Amino acid sequence: MGGRHVKPFLSVYGHVTVDQIMTVRKFPAVGTTEDVITATTTLGGTGTNIALTAARLGCPTALCAMVGNDFPQAYEDEIRASGMIMDDFRRLEGYDSSKAIVVNDPSLDQKVLFYAGPQGEADKTGVMLDSMASQSEHVHFCTGQPSYYMSIMERIQGASIAMDPAQETHRIWNADNFPKALAMADALFCNRIEGESLSRYVGVKDIFDADVGLVVCTYGAEGSVARIGDEKVRIPAVNADRVVDVTGAGDSYRAGYYAALYRGYDAPEALVVAAAVASFTVEKIGALTNTPTWDAALERAEPYFKEIS
């Protein structure tokens, strides 16, 4: 249970969240009410989505995160059942766990309300979660307090560090703190909209010109583009059987990438596997409700390897 004595290939920092995912016929105007058509409560959060998907795909993964004592035990049991390394997973007294309300309209546009919980003010907790990252080959920093994450980065030696500010790009990262964090990183993950903001923070016209060895930018149904060293590679989108909910697709993409690296795939092929894993995620409501097996992800990815350009 929990893979306690296994050395992690990957350590993930990010929120562990209880997600309430709803659909509406249209978003309400100010002062009006719209009926919710469907409502689902699931385990979520960027940290959970990436780490749990990677662990389910067979990648030895540590989840480095804080939750409150209100965090449902059933969700913790679900995380542990994946074989997750839980040495740096902490329940803290005096905090409520992270929560998100995600609302989709029929076109799958989203609006989100988010409560960060202890991961959003980790400096105040006095808890330093760095034991697993210090042993990992890859460390992925997603949502959470920038100053805390930079203090962890300063303590890590020998690991490949990835920055992935995600939806917090536009709120708590800026032209002061992001360049400092990126200077300690080896890789950057973002989507197109995030990349526009991040490029301004580091003073470049194109996020692919950022001074970091790997930049991966996703474009939804248009696929993704990676700049690996000096080479730019276009990664095709992998077709899903149906698209029901895009929540967590980007997170599962990252998980698929690390799971493929763990199995010895090179970066371009690993990113195709990433797209394949994401294609399963969108087929059901919730970021963690349709994680494929490694064999299923690879089978869906293989026809697309030849399209890498």
Q: Count CB neighbours of 308 within 10 A.
A: 15
- The answer to whether 45 and 15 have CB atoms below 8 angstroms apart is yes
Which pLDDT does position 287 carry in this prediction?
79
Q: Is 226 helix (H, G, I), strand (E, B) or coil?
A: strand
**213 DSSP β-pair partners:** none
- What percentage of the chain exceeds 70 in pLDDT? 98
Per-residue pLDDT reduced to its tens digit, 185-238: 999 999 999 999 999 999 999 999 999 999 999 998 899 999 999 999 999 999
The CATH superfamily holding the domain 10-304 is Ribokinase (3.40.1190.20)
Q: Is 39 helix (H, G, I), strand (E, B) or coil?
A: strand
Whole-angstrom Cα distance, residue 44 to residue 41? 9
- The answer to whether 260 and 57 have CB atoms below 8 angstroms apart is no
Whole-angstrom Cα distance, residue 287 to residue 251? 8
CA max distance for the chain: 54
pTM summary value: 0.91
Per-residue pLDDT reduced to its tens digit, 240-271: 999 987 878 999 999 999 999 999 999 999 99
N-term to C-term CA, the chain:
41
Domain ranges of the chain: 10-304
Element (H, E) at 138: strand 138-141
- The answer to whether 43 and 15 have CB atoms below 8 angstroms apart is no
**20 DSSP β-pair partners:** 41, 101
Res. 5 pLDDT band, cuts 50 70 90: low
Please say if the pLDDT value at position 15 is more than 80. Answer: yes
Please say if the pLDDT value at position 2 is more than 60. Answer: no
Distance between alpha carbon 308 and the CA centroid of its chain, in Å?
Answer: 23
DSSP string computed for 72-115: -HHHHHHHHHTT-B-TTEEEETT-PPEEEEEEE-TT--EEEEEE
Whole-angstrom Cα distance, residue 198 to residue 37? 36
DSSP state of 245: -
Sheet with 36-44, side-by-side order of all strands:
36-44, 17-24, 98-104, 110-115
Per-residue pLDDT reduced to its tens digit, 114-168: 999 999 999 999 999 999 999 999 999 999 999 999 999 999 989 999 999 999 9
| Mean pLDDT across the chain | 94
